[in-house]
Structure formats: C-alpha cells, structure tokens
Structure 1
C-alpha cells in the first residue's frame, strides 16, 4: 500500500514539471511533498510492524533470570573471582 503513495507522488512531480500553469505547479508540488511524507510514514510503519512493541518486550520470567545472572556476576566479582572467559589467541 505504501508504494502507491510513492507512485502517486511521482505522478504529481511529473505533472508539476510538465505544466505551464504556476498555480497547478505549486499545488502538484505540495501534493507530491505530502505524498512522499505519507509514503515515508507508511514505509516506516510497515518496516517496524506498526506501533505494536509488545512482541519486542522481555517477559517477566526472562527478566528475572537476567537479573539473577547479573547479581551472580556482581557477587562473584566482589568476591574476587573472575567469571569472564580468557581471551582467544
């Protein structure tokens, strides 16, 4: 659907370049600009999946597990144990 905005904006630009009327040129340039903005917004929403970010959030069980791992690392570091693996040669 968002490609339709792009095609219509290209049509409006073509009309703006081919017309001899200044008023029609200004109107078609404004329409082309509005359609390009609409295309960019629709493309972004299609690319990012709209405004639904719930699929990208961490569930509470995974967050709890990550906090436990971080706490264990802090405790091991405070005790003087090195939990990081040695660098690869």
Structure 2
C-alpha cells in the first residue's frame, strides 16, 4: 500500500510540472508533499510491525506467577534430591 502513495505523489508532481495554473501547481505540490509523507510513514509502520512480537505470545500476570511457582518447586525438588544423594553417599 505505501507504494501507491509514492505513485500518486509522482503523478501529483508531474501534474504540478505541466500545469499552467498557479493555484493548481501549488495544490499539486502540496498533494505531492503529503503523499510522500504518507509513503514514508507507511514504510516506517511496516518496519516497526515487522520487528514487533506477536501479541498473543505475551504472558498474563497469573500465568507468569504460575510459571514462577513451578520453577521454584522444581528448584526445591532438585535441591532436596541433591541433599538426599549427598547424605546417602557420605553415610557409606
């Protein structure tokens, strides 16, 4: 879609160059300037969109808390497993 703005801007610029009326020339130049601005903003919007993450992948606070609790439980289980294995090996 941004490329359509560029083509329209070029057409407005061509109209400004071939026009004999001052008012039409000024209006065509203003239109060309506005269309060029829309073209640049469209390109920038596409670039930002390409670099952004998918919003559906964002974790809500409740899910994040549940994941933290699971990680903490795993850490405690691993620590308990290491303590149990170190106490059995030292008893031998």
Q: TM-score range by the shorter chain?
A: 0.5 to 0.7
Are positions 1:11 and 2:22 aligned together?
no
SS in 1 for 2:20: coil
Computing the radius of gyration over CA atoms, which structure comes out larger, 1 or 2?
2
| Deviations 1:31-67 (CA, angstroms, capped at 9, x unpaired) | 00000000000010012217x84x29xx88xxxxxxx
Deviation at 1:24, TM superposition (A): 0.2
SS in 1 for 2:42: helix
Q: In structure 1, what is the Cα distance between the partners aligned to 2:48 and 2:3?
A: 16
Q: Higher helix proportion, which one?
A: 2
* Equivalent position of 1:27 in the other structure: 27
Deviation at 1:6, TM superposition (A): 0.3
Provide the aligned C-alpha RMSD in A: 2.7
* Equivalent position of 1:80 in the other structure: none
Q: In structure 2, what is the Cα distance between the partners aligned to 1:14 and 1:43?
A: 23
Aligned residue-pair number: 59
For structure 2, the residue ranges without an aligned partner over 5 or more in a row are: 65-92
* Equivalent position of 1:38 in the other structure: 38
